[in-house]
Structure 1
């Protein structure tokens, strides 16, 4: 049993056609956290999600059409009254008893605790490999060890999470966005190992559609954290190519070509765009003076 006062906790579950798993998960949550606020955000479901919530006396917020996982997270956060927010999937993968572990770690002085899955607990080998790439890249960019960038199971202090609510995308990349935002402003983030089960029902992620979308996460990671880390290498490479081409044409033709000039000017332009983006990013994360 955690030492955290359960009445301070709001548990938020984004759900789309997850009635089958909610039938089992909601009673478990009610049993483990009888004093906590539980909010299910029905993201345009066409099953009995609402009826399951009503039968378990759980708050259910409804989206009239599917807006996305991130949009559901934002709706749940706006409605939550707890000082501590718990986010978990409604598909049966996350265990109610694991919340206690994350809450206990949070009370050690952290601002966000993320449940980190093992490689073997990923939905499939491809997802596991992709998440490993995301984790390695995010660790390189931020300088912090990132064990599970895309995990949807996390606990966080509500006041600090709400600071970045406007930044969160409506799709599945909200976990990476909020993680980068916390690292960027210096909030304390830690990863705690969790056990997961196989989901109930079918996944809403489509390999082709969402696989291409998830590739963009890599660029979002960098541009959200520090744009210069992606613009500077590109600028340096283009400048090097232009300079080497100038050396080559100078030796062979004794002249400075238009292509060399174009590449060098392009390199300078890319660097300046990155510099401006860096300044904009700093303003984006700057808190309003109190």
Structure 2
């Protein structure tokens, strides 16, 4: 059985546009709209179209809506899509066709600048994709896309890791790679969103910057900590050599000692984080 989960906060306009077509294409699917504390007609529009509605008494965030929808879903596979009308219901069949090839997670990857809300968002997403690709050793075409098909049982394994905010796609994608599950991508085009975006570029820009570090520490902390540790210790050694040649004294200065010790400390923190990450994933298994 197929479940389609749509997080929605004040998305009455978008739902009114695409929900009828979605239900027409997938009449046997379980369509769940998670009304995240909306103040417009989101809930009534979804109910009128024939979708099941899960309502939050107040807005908890996109990630919290995703978690509520995943808990309510009963299908073997869940398709997540945004409620703002950007995702094309016709692309669901393409996601499922790729998923049928044996993938545990298939992500609809937005292609090109035209599929992004702005140049700033495109630049940030490009940076996330490159960093994540380096971390996992595989090309990640779109780390932050909310349009995806996933095996429900495996998605529920990582529910405790998901934040309540907008970074659930990032966290879930990296968690699937970290657990050794199969992740695939298909190219999609997205339409202009209906209504106002809930993302604030200044506030969320800082938050997305922090996500970069979260990606690294979620997947393999030592990959992040080791270069920093090597840089700090290396600067300490260079400082020692420069001082020695300049003064003729081969005694360690306070700065050299501080940098080398800081590098060792950062490395040890990374090593400890790596062990904790391994423990976090050790119980992940198929039922």
Q: So what's the TM-score if we normalise by structure 2? A: 0.96
Q: Which residue of 2 aligns with 1:124?
A: 118
Q: Which of 88, 96, 99 is equivalent to 1:103?
A: 96
Q: Which of 70, 76, 79 is equivalent to 2:63?
A: 70
SS at match of 2:189: coil
Cα distance in 2 for residues equivalent to 1:132 and 1:259: 37
Q: Deviations over 1:97-140 (max 9, x none)?
A: 10000001100111110001112211122211211111111111
Equivalences, count: 283
* Deviation (angstroms), 1:269: 0.7
Q: Which residue of 1 aligns with 2:40?
A: 47
* Deviation (angstroms), 1:288: 5.7
* Deviation (angstroms), 1:57: 2.3
Question: Conserved in 1, the CA contact under 8 Å of 2:132 and 2:215?
Answer: yes
Cα distance in 1 for residues equivalent to 2:25 and 2:284: 38
Q: Which of 143, 148, 159 is equivalent to 1:165?
A: 159
Q: So what's the TM-score if we normalise by structure 1? A: 0.95
Q: Is 2:174 the partner of 1:180?
A: yes
Q: Is 2:274 the partner of 1:281?
A: no
Cα distance in 2 for residues equivalent to 1:137 and 1:274: 18
Extract structure 1 runs of 4+ deviating beyond 3 A: none
SS at match of 2:184: strand
Unmatched 5+ stretches in structure 1: 1-7
Q: Which residue of 1 aligns with 2:183?
A: 189
Q: Is 2:237 the partner of 1:243?
A: yes
